[in-house]
Amino acid sequence: MLKSALRAVTLAAAVSAFAFAAQAKNPMVGGAAMYPTKNIVENAMKSKDHTTLVAAVKAAGLVSTLEGKGPFTVFAPTNEAFAALPAGTVETLLKPENKAKLTKILTCHVVAADAMSKTVAKMIKDDGGEHDIKTVGGCVLKAKESMGKITLTDENGGTADVTIADVKQSNGVIHVIDKVLLPKM
């Protein structure tokens, strides 16, 4: 009986250590642990800083896509980034009649690759200081790097900084950004 209790405690400690190690490798986002064993949607739903993004992904019908195999790189705007848009923009985009426009905006934040920040920084360096990133939404983002920070410029000249890089997911990676990137419409 004592042996079996000891094994149970040892197993529980090993599982806890593994969970802590997995958590330690990935940054916390929106006050929540991001687990590399969870997909993009599962992790984003836990972040208190990405409730607007999750609502938009649901309204655009992109949940099943971003839960899919991938790999995907998602540049994930925070709630503050969405709040910085002109008044009423988010509410208007979430209406069913604006689904196509919302989908276009969201897919301009997604790349069909698993691009960690070191990979993006290398592409920027290899391209002489600026690298064009083609998104699944057909947009081209211009990536630049300065002092270890990556900045993205959208097709309208708006810029977003990557504030949390390399949040590993089971189907790709999330890079948290501080602005919503907008396509030419």
For residue 88, is it within any domain?
A: yes
Output the six-digit token pair for 134.
Answer: 């083609």
The contacts of residue 19 (CB under 8 Å, 6+ apart) are none
Q: For the packed helices 51-59 and 99-107, what is the interaxial angle rounded to 10 degrees?
A: 120
Output the six-digit token pair for 160.
Answer: 């977003």
Q: Which of 154, 181, 185 is nearest to 85 (CA)?
A: 181
For residue 84, is it within any domain?
A: yes
- For the chain, give the percent of residues with pLDDT over 70: 87
pTM of the model: 0.85
For residues 181 and 160, the answer to whether their CB atoms sit within 8 Å is yes
For residue 112, is it within any domain?
A: yes
For residue 184, is it within any domain?
A: no
- In the chain, the amino acid numbered 164 is I
The pLDDT, as a whole number, for residue 22 is 40
For residue 182, is it within any domain?
A: no
For 81-125, write each residue's pLDDT tens digit. Answer: 999 999 999 999 999 999 999 999 999 999 999 999 999 999 999
For residue 87, is it within any domain?
A: yes
The pLDDT, as a whole number, for residue 15 is 36
For residue 36, is it within any domain?
A: yes
Range of the domain at 112: 2-177
For residue 118, is it within any domain?
A: yes
d(CA 43, CA 170): 10
Give the number of domains in the chain.
1
Q: Tell me, what CATH number does 48's domain have? A: 2.30.180.10
